[in-house]
Amino acid sequence: MNALFFGYGFSSAAAANALRIGAHTVSIHGTVRSVEKAERLKADGITPHLFDGTQPGATLGPALRAATHVIFSIAPGADGDPGLGQHRGDLDAATGLEWLCYYSTVGVYGDFGGAWIDESAPLVPRNERSDRRVAAEQAWRDYAAERGVPLTILRLAGIYGPGRSTFDKLEQGKSRRIVKPGQVFNRIHVDDIGRITALAATAKLNGTFNLSDDEPAPPQEVIAHAADMLGVEPPPEQAFDTAEMTPMQRSFYADNKRCSNAAIKKALGIELLYPTYREGLAQILETRS
């Protein structure tokens, strides 16, 4: 397996680690935006490539043409997905290409008033960044169909994991318990993203799937639970209507839905490593001690 990650960040690193564990022989390439990050990848045995999405990566062409599995984890811009936009010719020339993966977001669905939905739900995104995700998903479906290559689209929920969790925000004094009655958020532990990406790559899975845990939950409950685990007082509750928030922060509360993960679990014959935030936070706390 020769895997290349466009956008080697938090989720891609977890997927690369899972691929290394699961594959007998795997070569990992990843794109980053800075020389500093490239050096960190190199130290970890990953072949780095500089790519900022505005022009073709200087070293990416040969690596992409030799790739068997390509995972895209870069947010689309106004001109679409940067990987497809800047390196379609190299993808076309990848004669050994076996599988594509695109990390999308559950934000493509929009608002369903807290109801449970699955992948058959209509897409009614409520902001420009989610509109772009819908367009990028379709662009990749069209490309995969043209190439005759299987494509897994993973619609990711809010990602958390070691170093990026409620614990960190509590300790940094940045955690706020905003209460909007009936509001829930969908979450997924980064290790579940990594494991499922690796399993999908091995199976050459085709299709579009939600990747969220089993229990969408009110954000204030997750913060209170994490504070209790740390033995600290949770921040006071603040009403959504009167809380001071940036337009970006407030926009996340415009979508309220519970995303079913039944399809991906059935397709791969698995259960999640961390089916709720309770197990996920317990794992994170254990890694910190």
CB 183 within 8 A of CB 218: yes
CB 264 within 8 A of CB 204: no
pLDDT tens, 80-122? 999 999 999 999 999 999 999 999 999 999 999 999 999 999 9
pLDDT tens, 161-201? 999 999 999 999 999 999 999 999 999 999 999 999 999 99
**Greatest CA span in the chain, whole angstroms?**
57
Q: What's the rounded Cα separation, in Å, for the pair 160 and 191? A: 9
Cα–Cα nearest to 210, from 130, 105, 287: 105
pLDDT tens, 243-274? 999 998 999 999 999 999 999 999 999 999 99
Q: What's the rounded Cα separation, in Å, for the pair 149 and 26? A: 20
**Both structure tokens of 24:** 């007998």
Set out the domains of the chain in order of their start, with CATH numbers: 2-160+187-214+258-274 (3.40.50.720)
DSSP code at position 269 = T
**Confidence check: pLDDT of 288 > 80:** yes
**Confidence check: pLDDT of 24 > 80:** no
Q: How many CA atoms lie within 13 A of 147 on its CB side?
A: 22
Beta carbons within 10 angstroms of residue 258's beta carbon: 18
pLDDT at 289: 66
Cα–Cα nearest to 237, from 255, 249, 221: 221
Q: What's this model's pTM, rounded to 2 decimal places? A: 0.96
